[in-house]
Amino acid sequence: MPIRVAIVGSGPSGFYTAEALAKSDADCEIDMIERLPAPHGLIRYGVAPDHQTTKNVSRNFNKTAARDEFRYYGNVDIGSDVSLDDLRGMYDAVVLAIGSPEDNKLGIPGEDKQGVIGSAAFVGWYNGHPDFVELNPDLASANVCVIGNGNVAIDIARLLVKTREELSPSDITNDSLDALQASSVTDVFMLGRRGPVEAKFTNVELREMGKLENCAPQIDGSIIPDAVPEDEDMSDRDRRLRERNLATLREFVPRQPDEFEKRVHFQFYAAPREILGGDKVEGVRLERTEVVDGRAVGTGEFFEIETSLVLPAVGYRSSGLEGLPFNDDWGVAISDEGRAGEGLYVVGWIKRGPTGVIGTNRPDGQEAARQILEDISEGTKPGRAALEAALAAKGTRIVNYQDWLRLDAHEKAEARDGAPREKVITVAAMLEVLDGG
């Protein structure tokens, strides 16, 4: 009997697991279960819409999906349609590739005020994620504060200041593009609680900020160190990457504030302490910091930035899934290198937290495949026959991969001039396209 594997989640870590299993010599049936009709998770809904080359990896996912042993079950929710326990009863192995869909909290007073929008929601909104189409961010503020110095923060800052011409060839949704172009935003503050050496954004992304059509990056040159301090404990590669960031930031120093209509201000050594205002955000109170032993330590000097929109991009977490051993402090599954129980495996961000690039998930998927084939020599469970019976009993409208390819073709046909696609942004509308409503 084939080994029957269910993979929950259709983002990079799920697809890399499927690919590794499909390419192994073992006889496997691989069923991928996804809550949304459309597959590809972070590729479709997380990667910035103007980073299309990163999204090309989905072509490889399509190749995996075309293999005989693979089936896709989109529009199926683990929880309401079928539970994790049920799934474990149906399949020899269940792999959770469910990512880290929630925002880390800042943990400061005022962060629940209207006008504080975490990066998961904001990125989801401009990427047409069905959960965030109603977000309607208030973009009437001239100043916007983006908290964090990672690649997500820099993606958000860039999207806020790009022109229509720059954004139009991307797959940002028409609604979000129009909202961003109608915005009053002129000054984006990228707020890092530590210094330029500690910033987590990568150099390609940072350099992009210097090449924008209508935005000049701004930085106070006096805070940029001459070099990465010798006593910093890091690999040569890491040191080189950080030196490159410092060099790029130095190039920003002469840029004039009135060069263009918009500015992105890189403000380092600035830790958010309070979100100000009544029900709605009116500003952010920050404390100047210094870095001591790698940590941001407050100096007792405070300042404020007036704004009605605060976008924390301070990393992600998961809140788990019923039946999954879970570390709530860390927001990741409890596992032994990916083994989370008998026949239960985790891969990607739910396993190791939200770090690395898309390709980092590939060895993860390969490791999970290796573990499954090491642990299970022969299948004993019914797999897709049981899943399909359970979903039929529930009346779930399964979206299969052929359906997705039809939706994909529809989105491509609906694209504005020069754009790769116009995403269908609600589940109801996706099903309507598929069912010819």
Residues that bind ligand NAP (CB under 6 A): 106, 147-153, 155, 192-194, 198, 200, 202, 205, 271-272, 296, 313-316, 354-357
CB of 198 to ligand NAP, least distance (A): 6
CB of 103 to ligand NAP, least distance (A): 9
CB of 351 to ligand NAP, least distance (A): 14
Spatial distance between the Cα atoms of 378 and 2, rounded to a whole number of angstroms: 6
Q: Which is nearer to ligand NAP, 106 or 424 (CB)?
A: 106
CB of 47 to ligand NAP, least distance (A): 7
Q: Which is nearer to ligand NAP, 103 or 422 (CB)?
A: 103
| Contact criterion met (CB below 8 Å) for 93 and 347 | no
Both tokens of residue 192?
């890092």
- Find how far residue 380's CA is from the centre of its chain: 36
Distances from the Cα of 355 to the Cα of 29, 63, 87, 146, angstroms: 30, 26, 28, 19
CB of 108 to ligand NAP, least distance (A): 7
Q: Which is nearer to ligand NAP, 154 or 390 (CB)?
A: 154
Spatial distance between the Cα atoms of 4 and 18, rounded to a whole number of angstroms: 12
Q: Which is nearer to ligand NAP, 26 or 296 (CB)?
A: 296
- The residue type found at 85 is D
Taking the C-alpha atoms of 84, 89, 91 and 96 in order, what is their torsion angle to the nearest 10 degrees? Answer: 20
Q: Which is nearer to ligand NAP, 194 or 242 (CB)?
A: 194
Whose tokens are 């010599």? That residue is 25
Spatial distance between the Cα atoms of 315 and 329, rounded to a whole number of angstroms: 14
Q: Which is nearer to ligand NAP, 20 or 157 (CB)?
A: 157
Spatial distance between the Cα atoms of 275 and 278, rounded to a whole number of angstroms: 10
Q: Which is nearer to ligand NAP, 95 or 145 (CB)?
A: 145
Both tokens of residue 38?
């459309």
Q: Which is nearer to ligand NAP, 144 or 296 (CB)?
A: 296
Q: Which residue is nearest to ligand NAP (CB)?
A: 150
Spatial distance between the Cα atoms of 287 and 274, rounded to a whole number of angstroms: 9
CB of 281 to ligand NAP, least distance (A): 16
Both tokens of residue 344?
């239960």
Spatial distance between the Cα atoms of 125 and 180, rounded to a whole number of angstroms: 11
CB of 295 to ligand NAP, least distance (A): 8
Spatial distance between the Cα atoms of 399 and 333, rounded to a whole number of angstroms: 28
CB of 291 to ligand NAP, least distance (A): 9
Kindly write down the DSSP assignment for every residue of 121-164, as one continuous string: HHHHHHTT-GGGTT-------SEEEEE--SHHHHHHHHHHH--H
